[in-house]
Amino acid sequence: MKGKQMLLDWVEEIRALTTPDEVHWFSGSQEEIKSLTDMMVEKGIAERLNEELYPGCTHFRSDASDVARVEDRTFISSKLEEDSGPTNNWEDPVELKKTLTGLFTGSMKGRTLYVIPFSMGPIDSPYSKLGVEITDSPYVVINMAIMTRAGDAALARIEAGEEFVPCLHSVGAPLEEGQEDVAWPCAPMDKKYIAHFPEDRAIWSFGSGYGGNALLGKKCFALRIASIQARDEGWLAEHMLILKLTSPEGKVYHVTGAFPSACGKTNLAMLVPTIEGWKVETVGDDIAWMHYGEDGRLYAINPEAGFFGVAPGTSEKSNPSAMATIQKNTIFTNNATNAKGELWWEGMGVEAPENLVDWKGQPWDPESGEKAAHPNARFTTPASQCPTIAPDWEAPMGVPIDAILVGGRRATTIPLVHESFNWQHGVFMGSIMGSEVTAAVISDKIGQVRRDPFAMLPFIGYHVGDYLKNWLSATEKSSEDKLPRIFYVNWFRKNDEGKFIWPGFGDNSRVLKWITERIDGTAPARKTPIGYVPAFEDLDLTGLDVDEEEIRDILTIDRDEWLEEARSIREHFDGYGEKMPRELYDELDALEERLSED
């Protein structure tokens, strides 16, 4: 859709379909955010946190069934099923629109329809894209106000004639005359639909109020729809953090990292190095849009304006920058609070305050063994408040990327870090990524390893084979020597007692240091069948109290484990069918050959 008239027509069409009591255009002003928040506090939908401890912060409890993304209810509804590919749910778009039109009919009854114009990316960036979310959830409005550049500035660009992605959302819980509302309205699982229509560049989301299901600028637009735009326009829309790294000598590097949900992007983006003189600054923590510059290098912008981060495990020790960011103007969801407006989650690193009410709204008994916060409890917080935010995080042309990390949670097999031989081999590394499924998604497979190419499995808006081709085509759009180097990292190896071997968090700077030395050609590495791996001596482990044997172990390639891994990769590739690029099979053949040599 494009321009003012189309926007007005669309809003009117949706108003007539969903029959809300009122229509409210969100301007983006602080007063408006405050009055929406006050309204929700008054209605008992939200609670204000202690004003001295957490000024301007609120807390929400979701319905117990609506706590994470719902991949089984997420659809890529392209005209042809083969265009959506083997990794996505598909329904015929005509049929699905019929079903959804039925569901949206009268779905906003008794509620207000909010219109949120927004920009993904800095408002003055040529790489930004516009969207408009229609929603009946005031919670969504105040979250979008943090996560995107929402309101009048985005509207002005649309009114000037620019294109926008229509993003339709309803919690799917109309109110009958006199019916009392619940704190977190949503629809039952079988009525939830997170639907994408690639040919129309449109999103229809029904029945959930949570995170990636409802804040449609994020996964639905900035990844699923944008990945389609990126394929067509020749760039990359990726599930990646972006960080700026400065060495003690003042040399600057930019690094992106593709890790699956709840696998450490936010933490790495805000890392506080434990090695002398190094500095990390944050550009983005979840999504990177990368374009080829005129100089052939890849430049990344962060399309978001806030962080929707995992709360549990966030502490002064693990992520002090996140702790500082969330002290004010932050929305918390599904944590534990008490009558004093104190806040807590597992792994906050402080003793639990007294008389907590858990995420389900029940008095919490610390002895019960129940979790006080949901494992996917989140904070929504402005990126601008982050003490480590990079001064140029909103640079309209983005930052030039030196290295791309890929990785996931793997208790075995995958070493701490290994470097690809070249771009094609690096794309192969991204394509074989596996990770243990986390609580960021509602699934009965939590903890099991699943393949998740470039951490994009649930976010590719088209056929995975074509997506990997788009990655491979980088060497045609640029050249090997200008493209970032690709590294595969794994912070999550466990020992026999089930404990993490690598200390992780701030100590990941030690791995980043080796990576910069590889970029500069100053660090040695061993050539192994899977790529270049540092020797124990090649890593700067100054001041680190670790078990040398264990660290040597996570830098060792076990051929038998890797042959087994290769077999499993072949199965995974075969499952992607004929569109799987031949180059990646060539890489797999070559890997197996190297593993079999002595």
Query: Which residues would be at the binding site for Mn ion (CB under 5 A)?
Result: 261, 286
Identify what 104 binds: ligand SPV, ligand GTP, Mn ion, none; CB under 5 to 8 Å per kind. none
> Which value, to the nearest 10 degrees, does the dihedral of the CA atoms of residues 156, 159, 165, 171 take?
80
Alpha-carbon torsion (501, 504, 506, 510), positive or negative:
positive
Strands 193-197 vs 202-206: parallel, antiparallel or unpaired: antiparallel
Letters for 216-235 (x = contact with ligand SPV by CB under 6 A, - = none) are --xx----------------
Min CB(314)–Mn ion separation in Å: 15
Residue 261 binds ligand SPV, judged by CB under 6 A: yes
Min CB(144)–ligand SPV separation in Å: 12
Identify what 211 binds: ligand SPV, ligand GTP, Mn ion, none; CB under 5 to 8 Å per kind. ligand SPV
Min CB(504)–ligand GTP separation in Å: 3
User: Which residue's C-beta sits nearest to ligand SPV?
Assistant: 212
Identify what 491 binds: Mn ion, ligand GTP, ligand SPV, none; CB under 5 to 8 Å per kind. ligand GTP
Window 46-75: residues binding ligand SPV (CB under 6 A): 69
Q: Which is nearer to ligand GTP, 174 or 312 (CB)?
A: 312
Q: Which is nearer to ligand GTP, 14 or 147 (CB)?
A: 147
Sheet architecture: strand order including 58-60: 46-48, 58-60, 331-333, 378-382, 306-310
Backbone angles phi, psi at 461, to 5 degrees: -85, 10
Q: Which stretch binds ligand SPV (CB under 6 A): 172-180, 211-219, 357-365, 550-558?
A: 211-219
Letters for 293-332 (x = contact with ligand SPV by CB under 6 A, - = none) are ---------------x------------------------
Strands 236-238 vs 288-292: parallel, antiparallel or unpaired: antiparallel
Q: Which residue in 248, 237, 196, 166 sits closest to 77, CA to CA?
A: 196
Is 514 within 8 Å of 408 (Cβ atoms)?
A: no
Min CB(503)–ligand GTP separation in Å: 8
Min CB(310)–ligand SPV separation in Å: 8
Identify what 69 binds: ligand SPV, Mn ion, ligand GTP, none; CB under 5 to 8 Å per kind. ligand SPV
Q: Which is nearer to ligand SPV, 18 or 381 (CB)?
A: 381
Window 511-570: residues binding ligand SPV (CB under 6 A): none
d(CA 470, CA 581): 10
Q: Which is nearer to ligand GTP, 321 or 431 (CB)?
A: 321
Min CB(337)–ligand SPV separation in Å: 21
- Choice from 238, 286, 436, 540 touching ligand SPV (CB under 6 A): 286
Binding interface with ligand GTP (CB under 6 A): 259, 261-267, 285-286, 309-310, 312-313, 318, 440, 491-492, 500, 504-505, 508
Residue 212 binds ligand SPV, judged by CB under 6 A: yes
In the numeric block, which tokens belong to residue 265? 């992007």
d(CA 484, CA 526): 20
Min CB(219)–ligand SPV separation in Å: 5
d(CA 70, CA 526): 42
Identify what 591 binds: ligand GTP, ligand SPV, Mn ion, none; CB under 5 to 8 Å per kind. none
Window 86-125: residues binding ligand SPV (CB under 6 A): none
CA distances for 384 relative to 327, 330, 450, 495, angstroms:
13, 12, 34, 39
Residue 440 binds ligand SPV, judged by CB under 6 A: yes
Q: Which residues contact 379 (CB under 8 A, 6 or more apart)?
A: 307, 308, 309, 311, 314, 322, 326, 330, 331, 332, 333
User: Which residue's C-beta sits nearest to Mn ion?
Assistant: 286
Query: What residue has token string 């700067």?
Result: 540
Q: How many CB atoms lie within 10 A of CB 363?
A: 10
| Residue 386 annotated in active site | no
Q: Which is nearer to ligand GTP, 78 or 380 (CB)?
A: 380
Q: Which is nearer to ligand GTP, 202 or 311 (CB)?
A: 311
What DSSP string runs through 192-236? Answer: -EEEEETTTTEEEEES--SHHHH-TIIIIIIIIIHHHHHHHHT-E
Considering 167, 186, 263, 386, which one is annotated as catalytic?
Answer: 263
Q: Which is nearer to ligand SPV, 58 or 376 (CB)?
A: 376
Min CB(267)–ligand GTP separation in Å: 4
In the numeric block, which tokens belong to residue 344? 């807590």
d(CA 453, CA 467): 10
DSSP H helices, 296-370, are 320-325
Is 375 within 8 Å of 359 (Cβ atoms)?
A: no
Q: Inter-axis angle of helices 582-596 and 559-575, to 10 degrees? A: 160
Identify what 263 binds: Mn ion, ligand GTP, ligand SPV, none; CB under 5 to 8 Å per kind. ligand GTP
Query: What residue has token string 């906003």?
Result: 108
Identify what 212 binds: Mn ion, ligand SPV, ligand GTP, none; CB under 5 to 8 Å per kind. ligand SPV
What DSSP string runs through 530-544? Answer: TEEE--GGGS--TT-
157: which strand partners?
none
Q: Which residue in 554, 590, 597 sits closest to 569, CA to CA?
A: 590
Min CB(214)–ligand SPV separation in Å: 9
Q: How many CB atoms lie within 10 A of CB 488?
A: 26
Q: Which is nearer to ligand GTP, 77 or 376 (CB)?
A: 376
Min CB(450)–ligand GTP separation in Å: 15
Identify what 313 binds: ligand SPV, ligand GTP, Mn ion, none; CB under 5 to 8 Å per kind. ligand GTP
Q: Which is nearer to ligand SPV, 113 or 310 (CB)?
A: 310
d(CA 398, CA 383): 16
For the chain, the first-to-last Cα distance in angstroms comes to 59
- Choice from 93, 121, 174, 211 touching ligand SPV (CB under 6 A): 211
Residue 284 binds ligand SPV, judged by CB under 6 A: no
What DSSP string runs through 458-476? Answer: TT-SS-HHHHHHHHHTHHH
Residues designated as active site: 263
Interface residues with ligand SPV (CB under 6 A)?
69, 211-212, 218-219, 261, 286, 308, 440
